[in-house]
Amino acid sequence: MDNTKEQRHLLKAKFTLLADIETDQKKRMPQPLIQKVLEEGTEIINLPEATKDVVIKNDIFNCLMDRQSVRTYSEEALTLEQLSFLLWTTQKVKKVVGKVNFATFRPAASGGARHPFETYLVVNNVEGLNKGVYRYLAIEHKLVYLFSEGNMEEKIAEATSGQKFIATAPVVFFWSCIPYRSEWRYDIAAAKTILQDSGHLCQNLYLACEAIGCGTVAIGDYHQEIADKFLRLDGEEEFVVYAAPVGKLKEV
């Protein structure tokens, strides 16, 4: 129980302490990049424009009323248009503002518009995409193909604490965070903000899925080291914070 109580400090606001802290932003340290740089020679994949054409349930009341966690999916592939819509609703950069320092505005809210996340997709069954791991370019609305490995299903199940239904989903979203994007401004207050931000991402995904006849479930129970290693993240400056498998609803 003592350990549990120790963890509660993460839940508490630290903004009053910030006044006395010389944050990196106050020190005029360079702002971290708003998106990870591309390695040379990476394969970029265009996504269709995200439009309302994929929406089959327009009513926000019904989307909220019907939203639930979905753990079994149709065997049908997700269309690229549906995937494009889901990426847009969770992370697409709608606007970049600033001249020296930059902020991005996206469909999900983020404390101080820091948006400390990158989106990785494990594609299993999406029309027009080979199986493999991709990263979303939220500014350009494109995908970068990263890699593919043997036994992907086994590795995903291992990375998500043995929850096998995740591994066979048509696509699995993994959100990593790059904490320094928030720490640069919020220092010790960043961690709580990042976790709050991540909830917004996933709730957008839930509602967007509901609108297009798909289902998802938030995944908090994953194996940190295995998931980071699988996505080739260093586990310190960037690591997984959340995941969500997505597939078409069986009855649609």
Ligand X SMILES: Cc1cc2nc3c(=O)[nH]c(=O)nc-3n(C[C@H](O)[C@H](O)[C@H](O)COP(=O)(O)O)c2cc1C
Chain residues binding ligand X by CB under 6 A are 68-69, 71, 163, 217-221
**Phi, psi (deg, nearest 5) at residue 70:** -120, 125
Cβ distance 247 to 78 under 8 Å? Answer: yes
Q: Could you tell me the smallest distance in angstroms from the CB atom of residue 212 to ligand X?
A: 17
Q: How many CB atoms lie within 10 A of CB 196?
A: 12
Pick between residue 94 and residue 250 the one whose CB is nearest to ligand X: 250
Q: Could you tell me the smallest distance in angstroms from the CB atom of residue 215 to ligand X?
A: 10
Pick between residue 71 and residue 155 the one whose CB is nearest to ligand X: 71
Cβ distance 24 to 184 under 8 Å? Answer: yes
Pick between residue 49 and residue 221 the one whose CB is nearest to ligand X: 221
Amino acid at 142: K
Pick between residue 71 and residue 229 the one whose CB is nearest to ligand X: 71
Q: Could you tell me the smallest distance in angstroms from the CB atom of residue 31 to ligand X?
A: 29
Pick between residue 137 and residue 209 the one whose CB is nearest to ligand X: 209
Q: Could you tell me the smallest distance in angstroms from the CB atom of residue 147 to ligand X?
A: 25
Pick between residue 86 and residue 217 the one whose CB is nearest to ligand X: 217
Cα 182 to Cα 18: distance, rounded to the nearest angstrom = 13
Q: Could you tell me the smallest distance in angstroms from the CB atom of residue 39 to ligand X?
A: 31
Cβ distance 131 to 26 under 8 Å? Answer: no
Task: Point out the residue whose Cβ comes nearest to ligand X.
Answer: 220
Paired strand residues for 184: none
Cα 124 to Cα 2: distance, rounded to the nearest angstrom = 42
Instruction: Find the helix packing angle between 190-211 and 80-91, rounded to 10°.
Output: 150
Q: Could you tell me the smallest distance in angstroms from the CB atom of residue 181 to ligand X?
A: 21
Token readout for 93 is 């950069």
Q: How many CB atoms lie within 10 A of CB 179?
A: 21
